[in-house]
Amino acid sequence: MYPEYPYFKKTTQSKEKILSFPPQHQVRQPGIESIMYPQPIIENPAYKGSGKLKGKTAIITGGDSGIGAATAIAFAKEGADLVIPYYSDYEKQDADRTQKRIEELGQKAIMIPGDLRDPDHCQSVVETALDTFGQLNILVNNNGVQFPQESLLDISIEQWDATFKTNIYVFFYMSKASLPHLKEGDAIVNTASVVAYEGNKKLIDYTATKGAIVGFTRALSQNLASQNIRVNAVAPGPIWTPLIPSSFSAEDVETFGLDTPMKRAGQPFELAPAYVYLASDDSRYVTGQVIHVNGGTMVSS
Each residue of 84-104: b (16+ CB within 10 Å) or e?
Answer: bbbbeeebeebbebbbebbee
pLDDT of the residue at 120: 98
Q: Above 90 in pLDDT, residue 8?
A: no
Q: pLDDT-based confidence at 2, cuts 50/70/90?
A: low
What is the chain's mean pLDDT, rounded? 95
pLDDT of the residue at 10: 62
pLDDT of the residue at 30: 87
Each residue of 68-78: b (16+ CB within 10 Å) or e?
Answer: bbbbbbbbbbb
Q: Provide CB contacts within 8 A for 181, sequence distance 6+.
A: 126, 130, 135, 136
pLDDT of the residue at 300: 77
Q: What is the C-alpha separation between 13 and 20, in angstroms, rounded?
A: 20
Q: How far is CA 31 from CA 70, 232, 264, 279, 292, in A?
A: 16, 26, 21, 27, 24
| Best CATH choice for the domain 8-293 from the list 3.40.50.300, 3.30.750.210, 3.40.50.720, 3.40.190.10 | 3.40.50.720
* 157-166, Cβ contacts within 8 angstroms, sequence gap of 24 or more: 159/205, 160/205, 163/205, 163/206, 163/209, 164/205, 164/208, 164/209, 164/212, 165/117, 166/116, 166/117
Q: What is the C-alpha separation between 8 and 31, in angstroms, rounded?
A: 22
Q: Above 80 in pLDDT, residue 89?
A: yes
pLDDT of the residue at 20: 82
Number of Cβ atoms within 10 Å of the Cβ of 34: 11
Rounded average pLDDT over 43-47: 96
Q: What is the pLDDT of residues 139-158, one digit of tens each?
A: 999 999 999 999 999 999 99
Q: pLDDT-based confidence at 15, cuts 50/70/90?
A: low
Q: Above 60 in pLDDT, residue 266?
A: yes
Rounded average pLDDT over 121-149: 98
Q: Above 90 in pLDDT, residue 32?
A: yes
Q: Above 70 in pLDDT, residue 13?
A: no
Rounded average pLDDT over 44-60: 97
From the list 7, 206, 275, 277, the catalytic residue is 206
Rounded average pLDDT over 76-89: 97
pLDDT of the residue at 267: 96
Radius of gyration of the chain (CA): 18
Q: What is the C-alpha separation between 281 and 296, in angstroms, rounded?
A: 27
Q: How far is CA 62 from CA 20, 65, 170, 247, 276, in A?
A: 24, 7, 11, 16, 16
Distance between first and last Cα of the chain: 31
pTM of whole model > 0.85?
yes
Q: What is the C-alpha separation between 226 and 218, in angstroms, rounded?
A: 14
Rounded average pLDDT over 161-183: 98
pLDDT of the residue at 14: 56
pLDDT of the residue at 12: 57
Q: Above 70 in pLDDT, residue 52?
A: yes
Local structure of 180: helix, strand or coil: helix
| % of the chain exceeding 90 in pLDDT | 91
For the question of residue 47 being annotated catalytic, the response is no
Q: What is the C-alpha separation between 159 and 151, in angstroms, rounded?
A: 13
Report domain extents, the chain: 8-293
Q: Above 90 in pLDDT, residue 16?
A: no
Q: What is the pLDDT of residues 182-203, one digit of tens each?
A: 999 999 999 999 999 999 999 9
Each residue of 225-260: b (16+ CB within 10 Å) or e?
Answer: eeeebbbbbbbbbbbbbbbbbbbbeeebbbbbbbeb
